[in-house]
Amino acid sequence: STPIKSSAASDVYKRQVGDTVGVTFNKASGHEGGGFGSATIAKITDTGFQYSQGGKRPKTVQLKNIKEIYKYR
């Protein structure tokens, strides 16, 4: 079997549509240390996931750009 690319990727796959999460970007993203919070997962794909914040149109984040993903309680 092929290992998942990063721990961030495996963390994404533990999440579910509807979960509220925050993300920290990695160096590859060009926005290291940046990120976003309080985002609701709209759709999970092979390369990342779509999320919405406050009723705006969903945005997409790529797994390759995620350093850390964490769930809000």
Q: What is the pLDDT of residue 10?
A: 80
pLDDT at position 32: 94
Q: What is the pLDDT of residues 18-58, one digit of tens each?
A: 999 999 999 999 999 999 999 999 999 999 999 999 878 99
User: Against a cut of 0.85, is the pTM above it?
Assistant: no
DSSP the chain: -PPPS-HHHHHHHH--TT-EEEEEE-GGGT-TT-EEEEEEEEEE-SSEEEEESTTSPPEEEEGGGEEEEEE--
User: Per-residue pLDDT for 3 more than 60?
Assistant: no
pLDDT confidence of residue 6: 55
pLDDT at 52: 95
